[in-house]
């Protein structure tokens, strides 16, 4: 097969690839962090690269014409997924096309947990065997452990068994056994190593990985950190990951990422990887399956069936983490194809499962999980909210990285905006927390109506006719990083409303199923990075969650990660996790008879049936943007 | 490192080896079946080879002068373990130095066992999942199995789990699960494969491997066969194997041998290796440890402690047999360092554990295991009988291969022998069953006395002065394969008496411990190839076992192999095996206060205390070779 060389600028990397593969595939081979939201289907338009040298066979496709500006076309921009390699090439990856370093949510709620890890170490001092008592090594060891520690019927990890004869004799019959779940000896070490016993707990997000290094003696977090999920270069959403042609590679890269994070954390506190004996992991069902290297294909099509629901303990040698090779890995149970182990983590961390009062929890992302319940009953559903709040499908959307606008206020008199960027850098785009502000601030200032339609009649040069209908200029080119105006167009608002409509449908249907209204909810937990940064009033105003008193809204940070940590240090928590996953009633929204109706009515801000939103009515009255007629219209929609 | 080439004749094989390694090591690398009883220590003198071309640095060692005849020295014979490679060489391996094809004992006693294997297959037809019932694959499978087959709480082999999503969809939700011990799904296969379910059962002897291919539906033996244990080229006794520098290689070659045998058996009956889901193995404790790749070193020195006593079920991927890669391997429990899983097999097959009557079982080999007991109590010990009965340490000893003399009669009048050889070939040497005949026939014909001393005063040209004292010419050179006289010398008789003394000491001490005499024994089981072929009267006459009525002596063939098969097809038998290994009282002969005394007195034929051997007395009287005085002398010895 003919091979060609591609050089990448400014990275200076080179790669030889086979003739005919797509440039996107070639870039993915290098590990360069090119954004590709759709995974190479040519529909997201994010994988823009510049051909500096070398000929491309394919002439400009219709898709490329759609996503590339005239200037970009002149500068030899192409979409990497649309073109193939038939020559040696020199390619430049523009900064704007990179996933870049991101703010990651690592901290989560702290739920008090008794430290009772499954892993424990026992120091053993055996009597030397003699001809009078020539018992087998294992029999002598078991007798000793029973007598001294009261533990019986221990199984032996076969790999530990293989070296037993040598190891116990190495330090004159003094050694340490590492026991899992009071049932299995997973490894033995010469001498006394009982002080060295650590665990690693992770939250595998579609976008980010969060990791925690834990001392299993006292449960303390020794180090915590985050990293982009390196799978991201194969596509940003779970569907791209599931559909990727090589699932083994998808598994391998996430393991690589988790190992990279692990090594970083252990280096920070000088801990030996061999002394990490257990790991726990949460993630959505797709991440969970890819991490375990289970078949994930069927998660991509209806009825989205996971291979396994239960929590799973596997030996590390099946997975390949850099913890002790005889260590154990526990994945929390999942609930359904789109309600994963991360949701179980959120329920553990928020303690919904044991509360008297009614709680709702939202874990907002491309896929948003909604949980509603208390100690009696728990319902959960998944909403296909899409990646709008992560910046995708929004013209100037970006993720929470340097230069991202993360907060917006609009002056109702002047319609002039105030905004804040990450690192106070020159604005490059708009990230999730500010994306929530957009419709809320525009609604408050009457720039849009309850349907999200831009009012073209307002007196402001910031409201103008754009390429795709009317738009609002948030940042003038003179102030922006790229020197281009950063705008919010009618289509952007539509995308945001679509995303919030999906979530609203989930919360609404769960409440109907439970037989409660927004008023009945005593706690509303918002998990995840998004929840940590949003303006909760604006979020309520646009209908991301039911209209409840703001003092009931609690941000719980990376609660999925907290749940993972709880299960690392506590046997009881694992049992609870298993029970919860069985108890939860999973509600499949798509098969609910009123799904279409609720979804359509959710396209209003905050909802067609305004009667249940007295705070909004009050506000609309205040700004003189309310009429009974409007409500009637919406009611008709609602009842239709 | 400089390399040299060695060519082997008549095999025509070539090998490149590093300068300085011993020729024995080089030969072992090729797999040529050179005999090396001592494993390269230079003390057995069996690894004779001929240097056809190339220079040897080392001049003839004292050991070589001892073991090589003058003719051999003239013909460039050397001991392969005494010389090293410093040139290209051409080496001839004489036929006499090869282990060759051997008669192997495969058939054993048939004990009736109910077929209830741990492995079973279930055919599954799942309903297609739907959005109304999007249960995980495993939950649906478990529900089905519980409802249809009443089995719950199944664990999943993780490797099977990994492909579950794909496999169950391959034939439209029709598939077959293979379950182990009603507790674990080890593999799943598309479609209905319930008819294809087989097992492999082996007996790993120090010298030979025996294998049985079993249909797990009805327990029938589909094919059986044997093979030399390929470890034999590293030394014939267990101590050489334990001491070998590379235990991994020792493990690897026995696995290779067992796989070679397996493939031969499956080819004979056209069975797919993938459809063999379980294997059981017996062997002495050393073979057991090497098979499992456990540390075996400590078995080589006092107090001879095994790593594990219990039976062990491991996954095949830990061992590397060519059965289904997710299959299981069960090794029967052992009793002590020198009473192994093979002895448990013998007890299962002979059903000693459930008999009212008192039974003794002997499994004769380099190490002889003695079992004495009934359903109330079982004692066992190991006797270091040495390899005399396998032909080692006997001048013309050889194993049971082509041309081996396997039966000897001596005419009391003429002192002329009659003998029978394997395959009726020209005699090459004497194998085990005939080695038992030697002292018995010589005693009956007064060629030796009760101490084994050759009577030099007899009138026969067959009795003559040899290199090492007197000898008896069994075959004249004109009739033998090598054209040399085959003789039995005083030293040979000493070796045989030493071997039988070890066994006799074991039987005697066990009887003392049990508080019984030979008369009390109702059944005497002789296991193994040796037991199948010996003359039981001659064996009794020389004191291999207590003097009991011959109708109580039962040959049970490869009973260890039978026990292995029983455990393959029966869960109950495995439980029994575990119970027996705990019940058995292991008697360490070396720590018994009367050990030395019994051992010394066992150097007589059959024993110093003749009073307990009335049949022998009767016989000695008949041939006029008995006097009260002799008894008294022995008694004095006995009491001293």
DSSP output for B4-42: EEEEEETTTEEEEEETT-BHHHHHHHHT--B--TTSSSS
pLDDT in tens, A234-269: 877 888 899 999 999 999 999 999 999 999 999 999
**Same fold across B3-97 and B119-190:** yes
B132: contact with A, CB 8 A cutoff: yes
Question: How high is the pLDDT of residue A314?
Answer: 95
**Interface residue A586 vs chain B (CB under 8 A):** yes
B564 SS3 class: helix
Partner residue opposite B161 with nearest CB, options A138, A307, A315: A307
Its sign, for the CA torsion B285, B288, B290, B293, is negative
The span from the CA of A559 to the CA of A349, in Å, is: 6
Interface contact flag, A336 B134, Cβ < 8 Å: yes
Domain formed by A234-343, architecture: 2-Layer Sandwich (3.30)
Distance CA(B474)–CA(B430), nearest Å, equals 10
Chain B residues with CB under 8 Å of A309 CB are: 135-136, 138-139
Taking one residue from A and the other from B, the number of pairs with CB-CB distance under 8 angstroms is: 130
pLDDT tens digits along B171-192: 999 999 999 999 999 999 999 9
Among B18-27, B391-400, B578-587, where is mean pLDDT lowest? Answer: B391-400
Q: What is the pLDDT of residues B209-257, one digit of tens each?
A: 999 999 999 999 999 998 888 898 787 788 889 999 999 999 999 999 9
B130 touches chain A (CB under 8 A): yes
CA distances from B312 to A179, A580, B275, B472 (A): 19, 36, 22, 50
Q: Which residues of A touch B304 (CB under 8 A)?
A: 134
CB contact under 8 A, B305 and A136: yes
Contact B295 A166 (CB under 8 A): yes
How far is residue A215 CA from its own chain's centroid?
A: 25
B629 pLDDT band, cuts 50/70/90, is low
What is the C-alpha separation between B399 and A72, in angstroms, rounded?
Answer: 87
How far from chain centre, in Å, is Cα B333?
17
Q: Which residue of A has its CA nearest to B153?
A: A310
> How much of chain B, in percent, has pLDDT values that exceed 70?
94
Closest of A179, A3, A156, A142 to residue A85, by C-alpha: A3
Burial A53-78 (b: 16+ CB within 10 A, else e): ebebeeeeeebbeebbeeeeeeeebb
Q: Which helix (H) or strand (E) holds A441?
A: helix A432-444
Task: Report the pLDDT value the prediction gives residue A132, as an integer from 0 to 100.
Answer: 85
The 8 Å CB, 24+ separation contacts for B617-621 are B619/B444, B619/B541
CB within 8 Å: B309 and A138: yes
Chain B nearest CA to A165, separation (Å): 5
Q: What is the pLDDT of residue B334?
A: 97
The pLDDT, as a whole number, for residue A36 is 76
Identify the pLDDT of residue B109.
67
Total-model pTM: 0.81
A591 chain-B contacts, CB cut-off 8 A: 131-132
Q: Do A318 and B586 touch (CB under 8 A)?
A: no
A266-275 burial code (b ≥16 CB/10 A, e <16):
beeeebebbb
> Could you give the angle at which helices A341-350 and A559-569 cross, rounded to 10 degrees?
80
Site from A127, A308, A315, A584 to mutate, B interface, most B CB atoms within 10 angstroms: A308
Domain chopping of chain B, boundaries: 3-97, 119-190, 198-343, 351-385+501-604, 388-496
- B167's enclosing H/E stretch is helix B158-170
Query: Does an H or E element contain B440, and which?
Result: helix B432-444
Of A133, A307, A590, Cβ closest to residue B131: A590
User: Span B48-62, mean pLDDT?
Assistant: 91
Q: What's the pLDDT at A635?
A: 45
Tokens (6 digits) for B484:
């040399």
ipTM of the complex: 0.80
CATH superfamily entry for domain B351-385+501-604: ATPase, nucleotide binding domain (3.30.420.40)
Q: Say if B159 is an interface residue toward chain A (CB within 8 Å).
A: yes
Largest CA distance in chain A: 102
Choose among A139, A162, A294: nearest Cβ to B165: A294
Is A306 within 8 Å of chain B by CB? Answer: yes
Q: What's residue A628's pLDDT?
A: 63
What is the token pair recorded at B239? Answer: 């101590």
Per-residue pLDDT at B196 exceeds 90: yes
Measured CA to CA in angstroms, residue B295 lies from A157, A174, A622, B40, B285 at distances of: 15, 18, 83, 22, 11
Asked if B590 reaches chain A (Cβ–Cβ under 8 Å), the answer is yes
We find that the CATH architecture of domain B119-190 is Roll (3.10)
pLDDT of residue A633: 44
Query: What CATH number has the domain spanning A3-97?
Result: 3.10.20.30
Cα separation of the two ends of chain B: 62
Sorted by sequence, the CB contacts under 8 Å of residue B69 that are 6+ apart come out as none
Smallest CA–CA distance, residue B77 to chain A, in Å, is 41
Residue of B nearest to A165 (CA): B295
Looking at 3.50.50.60, 3.40.50.300, 3.30.420.480, 3.40.50.1700, the CATH number of the domain B198-343 comes to 3.30.420.480
Tell me which residue in B129, B165, B305 faces A137 most closely, judged by beta carbons.
B305
Is the CB of B588 less than 8 angstroms away from the CB of A132?
A: yes
Residue B100: band (very low, low, confident or very high) from pLDDT cuts 50, 70, 90: low
Burial class (CB in 10 A: 0-12, 13-18, 19+), B12: exposed
Q: Tell me the C-alpha distance between B573 and B117, whole Å.
A: 10
Tell me the CA distances in angstroms from B342 to A584, B138, B225, B338, one per residue in order: 53, 40, 17, 10
Q: Higher-confidence residue: B361 or A614?
A: B361
State how beta strands A404-410 and A429-430 pair. parallel
Q: How far is residue A568's CA from residue A292's CA, in Å, rounded to a whole number? A: 17
Contact B307 A134 (CB under 8 A): no
Q: Do B350 and B525 meet the contact criterion of CB atoms below 8 Å apart? A: yes
Whether the per-residue pLDDT at B97 is higher than 90: the answer is no
**pLDDT tens digit sequence for B139-170:** 999 999 999 999 999 999 898 898 899 999 99
List chain A residues with pLDDT less than 50: 102, 632-640
How many angstroms separate the CA of residue A598 from the nearest CA in chain B? 19
Residues 160-219 of B with CB under 8 A from A: 161-166, 169
Residue A17 distance to chain B (closest CA, Å)? 31
């Amino acid at each position: 097969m003919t091979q060609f060389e591609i050089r990448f600028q400014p990275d200076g990397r080179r790669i030889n690839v086979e003739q005919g593969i797509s440039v996107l595939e070639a870039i993915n081979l290098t590990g360069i962090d090119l954004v590709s939201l759709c995974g190479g289907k040519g529909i997201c338009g994010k994988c823009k690269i510049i051909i500096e040298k070398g000929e491309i066979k394919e002439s400009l496709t219709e898709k490329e014409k759609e996503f590339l500006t005239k200037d970009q076309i002149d500068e030899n921009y192409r979409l990497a997924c649309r073109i193939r390699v038939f020559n040696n090439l020199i390619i430049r990856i523009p900064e704007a096309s990179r996933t870049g370093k991101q703010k990651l949510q690592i901290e989560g709620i702290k739920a008090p947990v008794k430290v009772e890890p499954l892993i424990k170490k026992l120091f053993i001092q055996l009597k030397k065997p003699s001809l009078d008592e020539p018992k087998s090594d294992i029999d002598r060891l078991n007798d000793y452990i029973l007598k001294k520690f009261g533990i019986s019927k221990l199984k032996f990890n076969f790999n530990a068994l293989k070296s037993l004869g040598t190891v116990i004799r190495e330090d004159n019959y003094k050694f340490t056994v590492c026991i899992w779940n009071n049932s299995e000896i997973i490894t033995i070490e010469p001498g006394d190593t009982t002080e060295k016993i650590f665990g690693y707990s992770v939250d595998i997000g579609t976008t980010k990985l969060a990791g925690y290094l834990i001392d299993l003696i006292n449960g303390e977090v020794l180090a915590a950190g985050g990293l982009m999920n390196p799978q991201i270069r194969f596509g940003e959403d779970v569907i791209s990951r599931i559909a990727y042609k090589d699932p083994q590679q998808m598994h391998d890269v996430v393991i690589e990422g988790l190992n990279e994070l692990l090594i970083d954390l252990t280096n920070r506190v000088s801990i030996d990887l061999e002394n990490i004996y257990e790991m726990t992991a949460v993630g959505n069902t797709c991440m969970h399956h890819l991490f375990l290297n289970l078949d994930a294909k069927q998660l991509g099509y209806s009825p989205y069936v996971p291979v396994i629901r239960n929590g799973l303990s596997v030996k590390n040698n099946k997975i390949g983490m850099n913890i002790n090779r005889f260590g154990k890995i526990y994945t929390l149970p999942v609930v359904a194809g789109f309600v994963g182990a991360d949701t179980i983590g959120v329920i553990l961390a928020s303690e919904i499962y044991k509360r008297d009062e009614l709680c709702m929890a939202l874990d907002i992302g491309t896929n948003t999980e909604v949980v509603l319940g208390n100690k009696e009953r728990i319902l959960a559903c998944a909403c296909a909210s899409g990646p709008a709040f992560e910046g995708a499908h929004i013209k100037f959307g970006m993720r929470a990285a340097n230069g991202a606008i993360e907060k917006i206020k609009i002056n109702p008199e002047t319609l002039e905006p105030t905004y804040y960027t990450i690192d106070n850098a020159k604005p490059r785009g708009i990230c999730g927390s500010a994306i929530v502000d957009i419709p809320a601030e525009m609604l408050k200032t009457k720039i849009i109506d309850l349907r999200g339609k831009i009012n073209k009649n307002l007196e402001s040069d910031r409201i103008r006719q754009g390429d795709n209908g009317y738009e609002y200029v948030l940042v003038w080119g003179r102030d922006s990083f790229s020197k281009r105006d950063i705008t919010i167009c009618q289509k952007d608002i539509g995308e945001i409303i679509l995303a919030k409509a999906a979530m609203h449908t989930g919360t609404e249907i769960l409440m109907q199923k439970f037989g409660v209204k927004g008023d009945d909810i005593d706690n509303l937990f918002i998990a995840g990075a998004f929840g940590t940064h949003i303006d909760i009033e604006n979020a309520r105003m646009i209908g991301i969650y039911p209209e409840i008193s703001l003092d009931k809204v609690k941000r719980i940070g990376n609660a999925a990660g907290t749940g993972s940590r709880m299960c690392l240090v506590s046997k009881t928590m694992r049992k609870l996790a298993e029970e919860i996953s069985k108890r939860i009633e999973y509600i499949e929204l798509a098969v609910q008879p009123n799904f279409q109706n609720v979804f359509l009515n959710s396209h209003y801000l905050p909802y067609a049936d305004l009667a249940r939103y007295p705070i909004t009515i009050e506000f609309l009255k205040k700004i003189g943007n309310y009429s009974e007629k409007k409500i009637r219209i919406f009611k008709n929609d609602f009842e239709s």
